[in-house]
Structure 1
Amino acid sequence: MQKTWHTVHGFDTAWVPPNVGMVASNQQENCDSHVYVMYHGTSKQAAVDIQRNGFTPSKVGMLGAGVYLSRDIRKMVLKVKVNVGRVKVINKKGHDMQYNWHTHGFDTAWVPPGVGMVPSNQEEDCVYDPKRIKVMAMLDVANLKK
């Protein structure tokens, strides 16, 4: 499936984790300027508002200002497509660009899974400009809590 994940199997995203021998640097594969399917967890009312008016970036958070998303489908209330642009990997608490990555020319900050920054130990993304995000689908919000 290494070369057919999209065309044959219909997946939107393939990820090469670090230290699996597929990337010469043993780091994750560069994902700058790629489009990925991600998910956004939120309340029923916020999901409806986002559908109508688009995302409003948070002013503060683990990675500073931006829209917080994940490739973890368990967070799904909204399914989105994101052009990540230039990505900064933030792989530890206290990283020197944890809150100011955007002022260094990055469009997205990414916390890899398993680095201890996200309580679920999953990955997290913060996209500075909401224009990079397009809502694709929303769960049946009738069943969501307010």
Structure 2
Amino acid sequence: MEYQWPEDDFDLPYGVLRLDLPEPVSGQTYVMYHGTCRTKARSILALGFRQSEDGMLGRGVYLSRNVEKAHRYPMDHHESDRVVIKVKVNVGKVKAIDYQGHPLQKTWHSHGYDTAWVPPDCGMVKSGLEENCVWDPNRIQIIDTIQPHQVSLLSVCSLL
């Protein structure tokens, strides 16, 4: 069965910037996306985001301004069980972490940063897509959820 993820970046809340900026700018607000499974999505919608215990950038909430990156997660779940949570984030003070072993890779928050940003195609993320880690879940406001739509083989063929 094929799945299709709807385009979702047409309606931006007032004051929110688009993805086409090369990097998140400190103090700005962006639409970002968090990929998860249906069960965890229900929990996040009910209770809000919580920091992960660890990860490539240490503790925080992992997001991307790229919906394509988010809908790949969690990778060990079937696509039909995945949900993308669309959020609005005030990134605060941003630190670029652009190579493995960066001296602030897991300690950026203790140096006064609110968000760590991994640039696209810097070699840290296998997909080559950007990643953000936001320390304080209170900087994140849930806007909506995005779920894949089943596409029949006939529908796919008619698009060709």
User: Normalization by structure 1: what TM-score?
Assistant: 0.78
Q: Pick the structure with more strand per residue.
A: 2
The answer to whether residue 120 in structure 2 is matched with residue 113 in structure 1 is yes
Q: Percent identity?
A: 48
- Offset at residue 14 of structure 1 (A): 4.8
Work out the CA distance in 2 between the residues paired with 1:51 and 1:142: 20
Alignment equivalent of 1:134, drawn from 125, 128, 141: 141
Q: How many residues align?
A: 124
Which letter does structure 2 place at the counterpart of 1:13? R
Residue 48 (structure 2) aligns with: 54
Alignment equivalent of 1:83, drawn from 85, 90, 99: 90
The answer to whether residue 59 in structure 2 is matched with residue 65 in structure 1 is yes
Work out the CA distance in 2 between the residues paired with 1:107 and 1:120: 24
Could you tell me which runs of 5 or more consecutive residues in structure 1 were left unpaired when the two chains were aligned.
1-8, 18-27
Higher relative contact order (CA 8 A, sep 6+): 2
The answer to whether residue 34 in structure 2 is matched with residue 40 in structure 1 is yes
- Offset at residue 16 of structure 1 (A): 3.7
SS class of match (2:138): helix
Work out the CA distance in 2 between the residues paired with 1:53 and 1:70: 21
- Offset at residue 38 of structure 1 (A): 0.4
Per-residue Cα deviation, 1:44-65 (whole angstroms, up to 9, x for no partner): 0111110110001101000000
User: Normalization by structure 2: what TM-score?
Assistant: 0.72
Alignment equivalent of 2:132, drawn from 122, 125, 136: 125
**Is the CA contact 1:39–1:78 (under 8 Å) kept in the aligned structure 2?**
yes
Indicate the RMSD between aligned Cα atoms, in angstroms: 2.1
The answer to whether residue 18 in structure 2 is matched with residue 13 in structure 1 is yes
Residue 102 (structure 2) aligns with: 95
Work out the CA distance in 2 between the residues paired with 1:135 and 1:36: 12
**Is the CA contact 1:35–1:81 (under 8 Å) kept in the aligned structure 2?**
yes
